[in-house]
C-alpha cells in the first residue's frame, strides 16, 4: 500500500540518519585527537564506510519502497576504481539529483563530496556529518557582494585549495554542479542561456579543482541527469510519483592543455578554459535532449 510505504520511509530516514551520524561524529572526535597521521588515515576509511552504509540504506528504500526506475547509459564499472580520484560534473535540476547520483555510484567510485553553501553547516545533524566527512563549505558570494568587498573573491578559491590538499590524501569523487544553481525556466530566461535545457556553466570552480588536483585526478566523469516526467521534488520521489530517471555517463580524460593555468589572472587562459567548458555543455545539452526525447537502451542499471 502506498500509505504504508510512505510511513516506512518517513520512519526509516530519521532513524537511519541518527544511527549513522552518532558513530560518525564519535569517530571524528577520535580522529581529531589522534597524534599519528597513519591512524587518522585509517579513520578516514571508517568514516567513508559509515557514509556509504547510510547511502546504502537510502538505496535499499529506493529499491523496495518506491517504483522509480533508474536507467544508466555509458556506465563502465570496470573502467572505474573505488580508490581513484575523479572530478564529477553534472547538470542540476532538483535535490533528487544528489540521491540519484548516490544511487548510481555508491561503492562503485569513491564517496561523492560536494562543495556546499556555508549556511548548510547549520542543517541539524547533516551539517555536522558533512563537516566530519570534509565536505568543503563555500561562501558563494554574489557579484554585488564581491564588488563591495573584493577580498571575498579570494575566500572561496582558498577554501577550494585547502579542500583539494586534503583530497589528495584520500580516494575522492569531487562533485560539481557546474551551473551553480538548480535549473528553472525563469533562471534560464533571465540568463538568456544559449542552451535549450541548461543554464550557463560556471567554469571557475572546475578550473580551480583541476589546478589544485592536477594530474592526481584519474578522469572526469561527465554525467547528464534527465527526468522525462519533469524535475521532481523529494516528495515526488518518496511518494512514488517518479516513473523513471535517466543518466548518461561519459568518462573523459583530463584536458592536459588546460592543466596548470591561472584562471583568475590569465585572461587568455580563462577564455580557452571557458571555450572548453562551453563545448562540453553543448554536448550535454544534446545528450539531455536525447534522453528526454525518446526511449533509452539500458546498457547498465546499477542497483
Q: Which single residue is written with the C-alpha cell 561527465?
A: 222
Please give the C-alpha separations between residue 179 and each of 152, 184, 203, 239, in angstroms, as whole numbers. Answer: 20, 11, 9, 28
What's the pLDDT tens digit per position in 114-133? 888 888 888 887 888 888 88
What's the pLDDT tens digit per position in 64-91? 999 999 999 998 877 888 888 999 999 9
Instruction: Kindly state the greatest CA–CA separation across the chain.
Output: 60
Q: Report the pLDDT value the prediction gives residue 298, as an integer from 0 to 100.
A: 45
Helix (H, G, I), strand (E, B) or coil at 272: helix
Question: In this structure, which long-range contacts are made by residues 194-201, counting pairs with CB atoms below 8 Å and at least 24 apart in sequence?
Answer: 195/281, 195/282, 195/285, 196/285, 196/288, 196/289, 197/91, 197/285, 197/288, 197/289, 197/292, 198/91, 198/281, 198/284, 198/285, 198/288, 200/281, 201/277, 201/278, 201/280, 201/281
Q: Report the pLDDT value the prediction gives residue 191, as an integer from 0 to 100.
A: 94
Q: For the chain, what are the domain ranges?
A: 1-65, 69-111+171-293
Q: Report the pLDDT value the prediction gives residue 86, as an integer from 0 to 100.
A: 94
Grid cell, residue 30, equals 577520535
Whole-prediction pTM: 0.88
Number of CB atoms found within 10 A of residue 5's CB = 17
* Terminal C-alpha separation, the chain: 23
Helix (H, G, I), strand (E, B) or coil at 228: coil
For the chain, list residues with pLDDT below 70.
1, 139-143, 146-147, 150, 152-154, 156, 294-303
Instruction: Check the CA dihedral 232-90-79-76 and report its sign.
Output: positive
d(CA 140, CA 160): 12
Question: Closest by alpha carbon to 250, among 210, 298, 284?
Answer: 284
Amino acid at each position: 500500500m502506498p500509505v504504508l510505504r510512505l510511513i516506512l520511509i518517513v520512519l526509516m530516514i530519521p532513524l537511519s540518519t541518527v544511527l549513522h551520524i552518532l558513530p560518525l561524529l564519535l569517530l571524528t572526535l577520535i580522529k581529531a585527537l589522534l597524534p599519528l597521521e597513519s591512524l587518522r588515515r585509517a579513520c578516514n576509511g571508517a568514516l567513508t564506510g559509515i557514509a556509504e552504509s547510510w547511502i546504502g540504506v537510502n538505496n535499499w528504500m529506493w529499491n523496495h519502497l518506491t517504483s522509480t526506475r533508474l536507467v544508466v547509459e555509458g556506465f563502465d564499472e570496470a573502467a572505474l576504481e573505488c580508490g581513484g580520484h575523479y572530478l564529477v560534473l553534472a547538470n542540476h535540476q532538483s535535490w533528487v539529483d544528489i540521491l540519484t547520483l548516490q544511487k548510481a555510484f555508491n561503492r562503485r567510485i569513491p564517496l561523492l563530496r560536494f562543495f556546499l553553501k556555508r549556511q548548510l553547516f547549520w542543517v541539524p545533524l547533516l551539517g555536522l556529518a558533512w563537516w566530519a566527512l570534509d565536505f568543503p563549505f563555500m561562501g558563494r558570494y554574489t557579484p554585488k557582494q564581491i564588488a563591495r568587498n573584493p577580498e571575498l573573491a579570494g575566500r572561496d578559491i582558498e577554501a577550494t585549495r585547502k579542500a583539494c590538499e586534503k583530497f589528495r590524501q584520500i580516494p575522492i569523487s569531487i562533485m560539481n554542479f557546474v551551473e551553480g544553481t538548480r535549473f528553472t525556466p525563469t533562471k534560464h530566461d533571465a540568463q538568456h542561456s544559449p542552451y535549450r535545457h541548461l543554464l550557463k556553466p560556471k567554469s571557475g570552480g572546475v578550473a580551480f579543482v583541476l589546478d589544485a588536483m592536477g594530474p592526481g585526478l584519474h578522469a572526469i566523469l561527465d554525467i547528464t541527469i534527465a527526468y522525462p516526467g519533469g524535475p521532481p521534488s523529494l516528495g515526488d520521489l518518496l511518494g512514488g510519483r517518479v516513473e523513471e530517471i535517466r543518466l548518461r555517463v561519459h568518462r573523459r580524460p583530463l584536458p592536459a592543455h588546460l592543466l596548470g593555468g591561472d584562471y583568475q589572472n590569465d585572461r587568455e587562459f580563462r577564455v580557452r578554459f571557458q571555450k572548453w567548458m562551453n563545448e562540453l555543455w553543448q554536448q550535454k545539452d544534446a545528450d539531455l535532449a536525447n534522453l528526454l526525447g525518446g526511449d533509452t537502451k539500458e546498457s547498465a542499471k546499477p542497483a
